[in-house]
């Protein structure tokens, strides 16, 4: 049986959401962060050599890394309409945001987080500039299409979701002045699979959709 190991308040919520959208059977195991340093507990770190979320297991099989898990689930269970065909006009945009989510967007956010904590000062200008460009790209894209991957929800949206919701809840960032993103998050919040995923992944915590 597929088991999704979800570290609370982390990007592993993506895997829970993906499983719900795909309608596949899975077990969910929740892990709370340590109280002393807010990091993963030793039990979670022991699952995979990287010691970070996300992680899935299936019998003796263990896999980490969001993109790898997405690819593995699609290969095992089919894309369930969440991955546009190469002939689709949405194919290229889907690929871009699927990979941009972690390769650039989340990396920028992590740089800002680390810089702020280490320097205890303003975020370096080049990091702030990259963050501003990232949010501008998001607002522009969501003015062009209903979803990052095009006309329908794809794995690109699920990959992007954590940074747009739970990560903002932790940072306190608002999205005033971003009407396209606000409308998009309203659409996401109305999806039964998203509602079910977040109720399971973060019980008692309303999703950050505004």
CATH architecture of 91-191: Up-down Bundle (1.20)
Helical (H) or strand (E) element with 184: helix 179-189
**Shortest CA distance to 13 belongs to which of 181, 204, 166?**
166
Structure confidence by residue, pLDDT tens digits, 46-99? 999 999 999 999 989 999 999 999 999 999 999 999 999 999 999 999 999 999
Q: CA–CA separation, 185 vs 189, rounded Å?
A: 6
Q: What six digits make up the tokens of 148?
A: 């990052």
- Assign domain 2-80+195-201 to a CATH class: alpha beta
**Shortest CA distance to 197 belongs to which of 19, 9, 7?**
19
Calculate the average pLDDT of the chain: 92
**Shortest CA distance to 17 belongs to which of 62, 78, 82?**
82
Q: What residue ranges of the chain are covered by domains with CATH 3.40.30.10?
A: 2-80+195-201
Q: Is the pLDDT of residue 119 over 60?
A: no
Q: What residue ranges of the chain are covered by domains with CATH 1.20.1050.10?
A: 91-191
Would you call 15 helix, strand, or coil by DSSP?
helix
Structure confidence by residue, pLDDT tens digits, 8-30? 999 999 999 999 999 999 999 99
DSSP 10: S
């Amino acid at each position: 049986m597929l088991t999704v190991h979800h570290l609370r308040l982390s990007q592993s919520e993506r895997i829970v959401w993906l499983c719900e959208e795909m309608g596949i059977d899975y077990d969910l195991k929740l892990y709370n962060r340590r109280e002393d340093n807010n990091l993963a507990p030793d039990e979670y770190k022991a699952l995979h050599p990287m010691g970070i979320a996300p992680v899935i297991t299936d019998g003796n099989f263990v896999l980490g890394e969001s993109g790898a898990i997405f690819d593995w689930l699609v290969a095992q269970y089919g894309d369930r309409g969440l991955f546009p065909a190469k002939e689709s006009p949405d194919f290229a945009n889907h690929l871009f945001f699927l990979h941009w989510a972690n390769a650039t967007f989340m990396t920028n956010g992590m740089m800002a987080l680390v810089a702020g904590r280490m320097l205890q000062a303003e975020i370096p200008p080049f990091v702030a500039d990259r963050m501003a460009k990232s949010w501008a790209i998001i607002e522009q894209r969501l003015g062009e299409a209903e979803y990052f991957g095009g006309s329908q929800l794809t794995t690109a949206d699920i990959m992007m979701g954590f940074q747009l919701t739970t990560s903002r809840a932790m940072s306190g960032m608002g999205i005033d002045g971003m009407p396209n993103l606000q409308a998009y998050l309203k659409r996401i919040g109305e999806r039964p699979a998203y509602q079910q995923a977040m109720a399971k992944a973060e019980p008692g915590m309303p999703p950050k959709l505004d």
